[in-house]
Amino acid sequence: MMILRAARAAELPAILAFWQVAAENDSRPADTSAAIEALHRRDPGALIVAVDSDEIIGTVIAGWDGWRCHLYRLAVAPSRRREGIGGRLIAAAEDRFRSFGGTRSDAMVLDANQRAHGIWAAHGYSPQPEWSRWVKALPAPETPR
């Protein structure tokens, strides 16, 4: 039976491996152990996993920064797609946002990722043509002397 719950610290390496096979990995910073551990330390409830018989079969990051609601890393195991798992992950993330008083949820979706457009549209999301994302890669912090 599948359950959705917050990821546990011991699962973080398995989630990194899962994203290698299940997630969209183009045009984005590489996932690292340090990055996923930092997320989990800062907000342990943000990383939601779908688990079936102890196997991770889906993920989403429901990031609430105190101001806005951002979704990342929606992914379902290739062998378990079109069973409604992605939709349940989106619903769980939205429940989390509502519990904080969030009023609008957004997702970063590659224009070329047609497979993803279907699920976002099916759950009420649409592109916002009047906005573009402006990005800058941050240099690593200077090491203290």
Residues that bind ligand COA (CB under 6 A): 22-24, 74-76, 81-87, 107, 109, 113, 115-116, 118-119, 122
User: Measured from the CB of residue 14, what is the shortest distance to ligand COA in angstroms?
Assistant: 16
Cβ-Cβ contacts under 8 Å for 84 (sequence gap 6 or more): none
User: Measured from the CB of residue 143, what is the shortest distance to ligand COA in angstroms?
Assistant: 35
Q: Within 1-145, where are the H helices?
A: 12-22, 33-42, 85-99, 114-122
Q: Give 9 or 87: the residue with its C-beta nearer to ligand COA.
A: 87
Looking from the CA of 123 toward its CB, the CA atoms found within 13 Å total: 20
Q: Give 8 or 81: the residue with its C-beta nearer to ligand COA.
A: 81
User: Measured from the CB of residue 76, what is the shortest distance to ligand COA in angstroms?
Assistant: 4
Q: Give 49 or 85: the residue with its C-beta nearer to ligand COA.
A: 85
Q: Are 84 and 52 in contact (CB under 8 A)?
A: no
Position closest to ligand COA via CB: 118
Q: Give 36 or 76: the residue with its C-beta nearer to ligand COA.
A: 76
Distance CA 98, CA 106 (A): 13
Residue position matching structure tokens 């690593």: 140
Distance CA 28, CA 12 (A): 19
User: Measured from the CB of residue 54, what is the shortest distance to ligand COA in angstroms?
Assistant: 19
